[in-house]
A = this chain, B = another copy of it.
Amino acid sequence: MRVHELETPAVLIDLDVMERNLARMAEYCRRHGLALRPHTKTHKIPELAHRQMASGASGITVAKLGEAEVMIQAGLTDVLIAYPIVGREKAARLAALAERASLTVALDSEEAVRDISRSAQERGVRLGLLVELDIGFRRCGVQRPDEAVALARLIHDLPNVDFRGVMFYPGHFMAPEPERRQLLEDANTRLRRFYDAFERAGLSIGVVSGGSTPTAFISHEFLGVTEIRPGMYIFNDRTMVGLGVARPEDCALSILVTVVSTSVSGRAIVDGGSKTFSTDRYRAGDGRGFGLVCEDPEAEVEALSEEHGHLDISRSSRRYRVGERLRIIPNHVCTVMNLHDEVYGIRGDQVEAVWRVAARGRVR
């Protein structure tokens, strides 16, 4: 099948670009002696997780149990759930999964540790746990060194769970480059305090799991990091370009749309809206717009209705006509993938692969 035969809207993955992105990250990790554990929430496709393993990953990351279930079912055997698993039902599902794969969970509460230990004991399995540390994002993660040590000790004392180390997520680094320098210094000051407390307590930390795509290539500057969990690097997106983390030619994912109306002057309407692009904001530059029109840098994806993309073409010299097709790079690839049942791997005009987004919607 050829790209021009696809019905729109359709999510396209340029395989040449994707393969370059995978090779580049693997090479960076090899050079710095870091384990690479890609976050598969970006693509949600087991076939792509296997490609990441083949290009040097040591295991994968997921956010939800439902994602872990899909990936383990597809033969991925070393999975970190970088999300606190809370409650008896979820702890039971987790223990069941641990029979089939090496599983680690990051958490920050006594409640989560106790439920998981109990379920692991009932099921007769062992689970690895990481204590999540907050290094400034203020989302999850224990705040103080003494809390981190207390949680690690609890893990030591409870049956069927192993303290494997610590995890952090530098989500607040989604900022311009100069600010990122200061954030890195602050993060390292915090990390040093946590490490010192663990050392004083005689607790050895095996794993320090860091990561994210915006910080990926400065991972070796975070104190003590042993592995990273970037997700978006496989595709990149408009926000990564805006942050200076990727170039437009590093964006593997685009959305093929058709112009369906040109009735309003200064506007062109395409057949993809918030249900195709998501309404995630552009988190760089002026924060405006929902995509980059590959054929026309002067166009702005100004607004999204559910099924309509509103292009402001008032400053463009390009002529738009009903029925023509455009490719648009979205603000945020992860939420785009979560909206689509299948996507197309392409090389030039050739559709090489049709992938089912098997972990789409697995939010439980």
Binding site for B on A (CB under 8 A): 7-10, 41, 63-64, 83-84, 86-87, 89-90, 108-109, 111-112, 132, 134, 138-143, 147, 171, 258-265, 267, 269, 271-272, 274-276, 278-281, 305-308, 310, 321-323, 334-335, 338-341, 361, 363-364
Task: Give the docked Cα–Cα distance between A253 and B184 (Å).
Answer: 42
Q: Are A7 and B264 in contact (CB under 8 A)?
A: no
Task: Give the docked Cα–Cα distance between A259 and B262 (Å).
Answer: 47
Q: Are B306 and A335 in contact (CB under 8 A)?
A: yes
A278 touches which of B263, B279, B323, B341 (Cβ 8 Å): B279
A140 touches which of B9, B63, B90, B308 (Cβ 8 Å): B308
B residues within 8 A CB of A339? 338-339, 361, 363
B residues within 8 A CB of A141? 261, 263-264
Q: Are A87 and B258 in contact (CB under 8 A)?
A: yes
Closest CB in chain B relative to A130 CB, distance in Å: 14
A143 touches which of B265, B275, B276 (Cβ 8 Å): B265
Task: Give the docked Cα–Cα distance between A111 and B340 (Å).
Answer: 28
Chain A interface SS verdict (over half): loop
With CB as the reference atom, state the residue of chain B lying closest to A93: B7
Q: Are A338 and B275 in contact (CB under 8 A)?
A: yes
Q: Are B171 and A305 in contact (CB under 8 A)?
A: yes
With CB as the reference atom, state the residue of chain B lying closest to A339: B361
23 contacts between A and B (CB under 8 A): A7-B90, A41-B307, A63-B306, A63-B307, A86-B260, A108-B263, A109-B262, A109-B322, A111-B322, A139-B261, A139-B267, A139-B310, A140-B260, A140-B264, A141-B261, A141-B264, A142-B263, A275-B338, A276-B363, A306-B338, A307-B363, A339-B361, A341-B361
Q: Are B276 and A278 in contact (CB under 8 A)?
A: no
A279 touches which of B109, B276, B279 (Cβ 8 Å): B279
With CB as the reference atom, state the residue of chain B lying closest to A364: B7
Known contacts A90-B7, A278-B278; A264/B335 CB under 8 A: no
B residues within 8 A CB of A322? 84, 86, 109, 111-112
Task: Give the docked Cα–Cα distance between A335 and B339 (Å).
Answer: 10
Q: Are B261 and A84 in contact (CB under 8 A)?
A: yes
B residues within 8 A CB of A260? 83-84, 86, 109, 112, 140
Task: Give the docked Cα–Cα distance between A340 and B335 (Å).
Answer: 13
Task: Give the docked Cα–Cα distance between A40 and B278 (Å).
Answer: 20
Q: Are B86 and A305 in contact (CB under 8 A)?
A: no
Q: Are B8 and A364 in contact (CB under 8 A)?
A: yes
With CB as the reference atom, state the residue of chain B lying closest to A10: B364
Closest CB in chain B relative to A265 CB, distance in Å: 7
Q: Are A264 and B364 in contact (CB under 8 A)?
A: no
A361 touches which of B147, B334, B340, B363 (Cβ 8 Å): B340
Known contacts A274-B335, A322-B112, A363-B272; A140/B263 CB under 8 A: yes
Closest CB in chain B relative to A172 CB, distance in Å: 11
B residues within 8 A CB of A364? 7-10
With CB as the reference atom, state the residue of chain B lying closest to A109: B322
A90, A109, A259: residue with the most chain B Cβ atoms closer than 10 Å: A109
A86 touches which of B264, B279, B323, B363 (Cβ 8 Å): B323
Extra contacts, 16 of them, besides A141-B264, A271-B363, A278-B278 (Cβ < 8 A), are A7-B90, A8-B364, A9-B364, A63-B307, A84-B260, A84-B322, A87-B258, A109-B262, A139-B269, A140-B263, A141-B263, A143-B263, A279-B280, A306-B334, A306-B338, A341-B361
